[in-house]
């Protein structure tokens, strides 16, 4: 028992010192010493510390930009504890940073199934659906974009930008009544947004903002906003198999049985990003994409050539043509050939 306790204590010290490999080794030794007896309190404590160490190690990898390694560590942690929503949120953040939005969305939904009141997961789900909606809008897939923004609103009904985006989509679909309600809700949430005022002038021509706010439609929109509640998403994403063969998804259960899940309480697992950090990453992502699009449109290389036009010369041959080199060829015809003049010779009489 003394050796077992020493392994456990040494592992805890290694974890505090961020020597995670040594900590993992000690906790695994502790589990072996108990013969993996789940009724043993020492086994349960060592197992819990091992999972916490995996998560802490993943945090270090995440902060260092090693997202693939962080996912592998979180896979190990989730394999041992499928009821911890924080692990799914962290793995979803890793997928998000890798640009694998479908996988991140699956993990955020899993965290939400474990704890339906997790506002952090809901905010991330709403933001990703909004991203998909923006892409659909740019591709003129207005029906799909409207569905995406609707799901985003269902998960976060207090975000002004989602209503504004859906108002633009509905305006393109000629659903003017729905677009007016969305733009009014967006105006109530953020009255200082110039983009709202621009679309407002098109939906309510000839009326000032003050006139619109005093209208019956504005009062109805305010009533809808005051009674807006978070609702579950009816949209199911298609199955994804692009990474099914990679090492990222080995020993991975994306979904667990909700009947076997208990609602999460205060979690000892450290989260990678809070809501502000997530929004900052999302803003940088949008700025980077917008910059790439702007660069491709405005910084294209001109097709008009202003420099000198040089006739390209063929590369020199490393072999001689049959018949000899043209510089050494004899210009005189071989003997026996008849020579002809260029015309009839004229003589002076």
Checking 181-184 for CB contacts under 8 A at 24+ apart, the result is 181/217, 181/220, 181/221, 181/224, 184/212, 184/217, 184/218, 184/221, 184/222
Q: Could you give the number of structural domains in the chain?
A: 3
> HSE on the CB side for 210, CA within 13 Å?
0
The answer to whether residue 196 is domain-embedded is: yes
Count the Cβ atoms, other than its own, within 10 Å of residue 38.
8
Q: Which of 81, 112, 129 is the last residue of a domain?
A: 81
Q: Same domain, yes or no, for 134 and 170?
A: no
Q: Which of 184, 211, 229 is the last residue of a domain?
A: 229
Mean pLDDT score of the chain = 79
Answer yes or no: do 212 and 284 share one domain: no
Place of tokens 């086994």: 43
Token pair for 269: 């697992």
Per the listing, tokens 């903002």 go with 209
For residue 244, the number of C-alpha atoms closer than 13 Å in the C-beta half-sphere is 4
Whether residue 332 lies inside any domain: the answer is no
- The model's confidence at residue 259, banded by pLDDT at 50, 70 and 90, is very low
Note whether 74 and 6 are same-domain residues: yes
Residue 261: exposed, middle, or buried by beta-carbon count in 10 A (0-12, 13-18, 19+)? middle
Whole-angstrom distance, CA of residue 76 vs CA of residue 79: 5
What would the pLDDT profile of 333-344 be if each residue is shown by its tens digit? 666 666 666 555
Question: For the segment 123-148, what is each residue's pLDDT rounded down to a tens digit?
Answer: 999 999 999 999 899 999 999 999 99
Cα separation, 310 vs 329, in Å, equals: 30
The model's confidence at residue 270, banded by pLDDT at 50, 70 and 90, is: confident
pLDDT-based confidence at residue 39 (cuts at 50, 70, 90): confident
- Asked whether the predicted pLDDT for residue 74 surpasses 60, the reply is yes
Give residue 31's pLDDT.
Answer: 85
Helix axes 101-114, 119-138, angle to 10 degrees: 150
307-333, pLDDT tens digit by residue? 666 666 777 777 666 655 555 655 666
Q: Which residue has the higher pLDDT, 158 or 277?
A: 158
Backbone angles phi, psi at 163, to 5 degrees: -65, -40
The answer to whether residue 179 is domain-embedded is yes
Tens digits of residue pLDDT in 199-251: 999 999 999 989 999 999 999 999 988 888 776 544 443 433 333 333 333 33
CATH of the domain at 29: 1.25.40
Share of the chain above pLDDT 90, in %: 39
**Structure-token pair, residue 74:** 């979180």
49 and 189: one domain? no
Q: Are residues 61 and 89 in the same domain?
A: no
Give the pLDDT score at 144. 95
Residue identified by tokens 């393109």 is 172
**Within a domain: 60:** yes
CB neighbours (10 Å) of residue 25? 15
Q: Are residue 91 and residue 116 in the same domain, yes or no?
A: yes
Per DSSP, the three-state class of 278 is: helix
Residue 133 maps to a domain? yes
Q: What is the pLDDT of residues 88-121, one digit of tens each?
A: 999 999 999 998 999 999 999 999 999 988 888 9
Residue at a domain's end among 229, 251, 282: 229
Distance CA 201, CA 74 (A): 50
Q: Both 74 and 3 in a single domain?
A: yes
Output Rg (C-alpha) for the chain, integer angstroms. 35
Whole-prediction pTM value? 0.66
Decide which of 278 and 42 is more confident: 42
* Co-location of 45 and 71 in the same domain: yes
Domain membership flag for residue 221: yes
Are both 220 and 267 inside the same structural domain?
no
In this prediction, residues 155-167 reach a mean pLDDT of: 94
> 3-state DSSP call for residue 155?
helix
The candidate with the shortest Cα–Cα distance to 126, out of 140, 143, 141, 112, is 112
User: Do 1 and 55 belong together in one domain?
Assistant: yes
**301: phi then psi, degrees, rounded to nearest 5:** -70, 135
The whole domain housing 127 covers: 82-139+263-294
What was the pLDDT predicted at 307?
67
Does residue 296 have a pLDDT over 50?
yes
| 133 and 267 together in one domain | yes
Within a domain: residue 111? yes
Residues 1 and 52 in one domain: yes
Residue 37: pLDDT band (50, 70, 90) is: confident
Expressed in angstroms, the distance from the first to the final Cα of the chain is 140
């Amino acid at each position: 028992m003394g050796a077992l306790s020493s392994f456990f204590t040494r592992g805890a010290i290694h974890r505090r010192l961020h020597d995670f490999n040594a900590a993992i080794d000690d906790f695994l030794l502790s589990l072996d010493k108990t013969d993996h007896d789940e009724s043993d309190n020492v086994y349960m404590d060592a197992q819990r510390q091992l999972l916490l160490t995996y998560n802490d190690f993943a945090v270090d990898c995440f902060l260092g930009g090693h997202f693939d390694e962080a996912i592998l560590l979180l896979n190990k942690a989730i394999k041992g504890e499928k009821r911890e929503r924080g692990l799914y949120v962290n793995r979803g953040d890793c997928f998000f940073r890798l640009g694998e939005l479908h996988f991140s969305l699956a993990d955020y939904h899993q965290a939400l199934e474990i704890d339906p009141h997790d506002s952090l997961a809901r905010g991330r789900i709403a933001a990703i659906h909004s991203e998909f909606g923006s892409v659909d809008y740019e591709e003129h897939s207005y029906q799909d974009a409207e569905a995406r923004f609707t799901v985003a609103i269902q998960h976060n009904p207090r975000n002004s930008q989602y209503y504004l985006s859906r108002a633009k989509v509905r305006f393109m679909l000629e659903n003017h009544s729905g677009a007016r309600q969305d733009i009014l809700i967006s105006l109530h949430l953020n009255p200082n947004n110039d983009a709202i005022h621009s679309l407002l002038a098109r939906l309510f021509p000839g009326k000032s903002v003050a006139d619109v706010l005093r209208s019956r439609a504005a009062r109805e929109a305010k009533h809808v906003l005051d009674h807006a509640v978070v609702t579950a998403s009816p949209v199911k994403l298609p199955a994804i198999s692009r990474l099914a063969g990679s090492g990222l998804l080995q020993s991975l259960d994306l979904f667990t049985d909700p009947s076997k899940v208990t609602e999460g309480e205060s979690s000892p697992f450290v989260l990678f990003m809070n809501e502000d950090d997530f929004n900052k990453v999302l803003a940088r992502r949008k700025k980077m994409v917008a910059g790439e699009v702007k660069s491709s449109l405005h910084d294209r290389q001109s097709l008009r050539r202003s420099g000198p036009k040089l006739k390209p010369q063929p590369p020199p041959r490393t072999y001689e043509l049959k018949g000899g080199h043209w510089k050494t060829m004899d210009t005189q015809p071989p003997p026996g050939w008849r020579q002809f003049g260029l015309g009839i010779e004229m003589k002076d009489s």
